Amino acid sequence: MPTRSTVILGTGSYAPERVLSNDEISQTLDTSDDWIRTRSGIRERRIAAPNEATSDMAAKAAQRALDDAGLKATEIDLLVVATMTPDLPMPAAACIIQRKLGLPSTAACFDLNAACTGFVYALDTACAMLSSGRYQKALVIGAEKLSTIVDWQDRTTCVLFGDGAGAVVVGVSPEPDRGLLGTRLGAFGDSVELLYISHGGSSSPSTPESIARREHCMRMKGKEVFKLAVRVMDEAARDILEQHHLHADQISLVIPHQANLRIIEAISEYLEIPMERFFVNVDRYGNTSAASIPLALDEARRSGRIKTGDITLLVAFGAGLTYGSALIRW
């Protein structure tokens, strides 16, 4: 049990202007709108401009979350950014975002990489730090420019991903049983090679040859990831409901990681929660990794799908393979 309740005070999101449709991709790649839509539910995705970095998208989403919360950047003392596509290998994107937003130099700022589960990990981390009493107001951001790490010649991956950002402002509340009720995080390190980038890190720095083979881009064993994703998201959701003595009927809205409509439909069936109580926007954005849940959360709130007293379930999986679930009472 947290010592202080941690509550979401505001949400914000940002998606780049450029819309890339399935039809447009199929002009340069052997694929089709029909294949992409039936296998993944994706119709289109957003692509950041060449001069638009992860930190630019993140700062825009964060400013909207601050405005929603009625807070100024100077009131934030903790910034946690979930991303696997930071602007630079160093320093952290969080420090660049700090500068763009004008956060005080007394704010702790760092990045966290748990791939597509990143936002759930970041939310848990920030809430634990707030619960400690050492921090008062946190910004938690999920932001990705995946268009820079996908292989645009690999039809089995590039059609699935997009760019974007989402953010929440988190504060503390004296009211018990509100806000983040709990999380269930984990990882299967044995499955690293199912979804990874083999070159460009300390074990295998990029060489002209590895770049020519496009080994600095994402590789994925789609079928295996699909099966594991369904299993771990189902288990992570069940575990957290059980831990909190909640029944699926008590969940007003599930916000799953938006990777594939078929994965979301399978989870809906396993959990026996109808699709009407799942928030879905994968059709418009594709998989935006760490940005996917906060982007969906912001759209769900702004479209009136979350009301005071509701319990929302977040559930995600990603490279690692990481997984995580979270329960929030509004």
What residues act catalytically? Answer: 116, 257, 287
Question: Going by C-beta distance under 8 Å and a sequence separation of 6 or more, which residues neighbour residue 108?
Answer: 77, 78, 79, 129, 135
Sole binder of ligand COA in the list 62, 79, 92, 116 (CB under 6 A) = 116
User: Which of 256, 318, 320, 324 lies at the binding interface for ligand COA (CB under 6 A)?
Assistant: 318
Q: Which of 4, 222, 248, 252 binds ligand COA (CB under 6 A)?
A: 222
Q: Are 7 and 140 in contact (CB under 8 A)?
A: no
Is residue 27 within the footprint of ligand COA (CB under 6 A)? no
Q: Which residues contact 321 (CB under 8 A, 6 or more apart)?
A: 187, 188, 191, 192, 194, 195, 225, 228, 229, 232
Q: Which of residues 81-110 bind ligand COA (CB under 6 A)?
A: none
Q: How far is the CB of 222 from ligand COA (least distance, A)?
A: 3
Given 94, 96, 225, 314, the residue binding ligand COA (CB under 6 A): 225
Q: Which stretch binds ligand COA (CB under 6 A): 53-61, 123-131, 174-182, 224-232?
A: 224-232
Secondary structure tally for the chain: helices H, strands E:
10, 13
Among 5, 13, 40, 125, binds ligand COA (CB under 6 A): 40
The Cα–Cα gap between 195 and 192 comes to: 6
How many Cα atoms occupy the beta-carbon half-sphere of 152 within 13 Å?
12
- The span from the CA of 86 to the CA of 291, in Å, is 13
Instruction: Check residue 196 for interaction with ligand COA (CB under 6 A).
Output: no
What type of residue is 93?
A: A
Query: Which residue, 101 or 217, has its beta carbon nearer to ligand COA?
Result: 217
Q: What is the DSSP letter of 319?
A: G
3-state secondary structure 88-126: CCCCCHHHHHHHHHCCCCCCEEEEECCHHHHHHHHHHHH
Q: How far is the CB of 210 from ligand COA (least distance, A)?
A: 23
Does the footprint of ligand COA cover residue 162 (CB under 6 A)? no
Residue 186 interacts with ligand COA (CB under 6 A): yes or no: no
- Show contacts with ligand COA in window 247-276 (CB under 6 A): 259-260
Nearer to ligand COA, 188 or 330 (CB): 188
Q: Which stretch binds ligand COA (CB under 6 A): 55-63, 220-228, 271-279, 299-307?
A: 220-228
Pick the stretch among 100-108, 155-163, 169-177, 265-273 that binds ligand COA (CB under 6 A).
Answer: 155-163
Q: Tell whether residue 287 is a contact of ligand COA (CB under 6 A).
A: yes
- Relative orientation angle of helices 33-40 and 261-271, to the nearest 10 degrees: 20
> Binding segment for ligand COA among 28-36, 50-58, 136-144, 268-276 (CB under 6 A)?
28-36
Q: What is the 3-state secondary structure (H, E, C) of 161-217?
A: ECEEEEEEEEEEECCCCCEEEEEEEEECHHHHHHEECCCCCCCCCCCHHHHHCCCCC
Query: Which positions touch ligand COA (CB under 6 A)?
Result: 31, 35-36, 39-40, 116, 155-156, 159, 195, 220, 222-223, 225-226, 229, 259-260, 287, 318
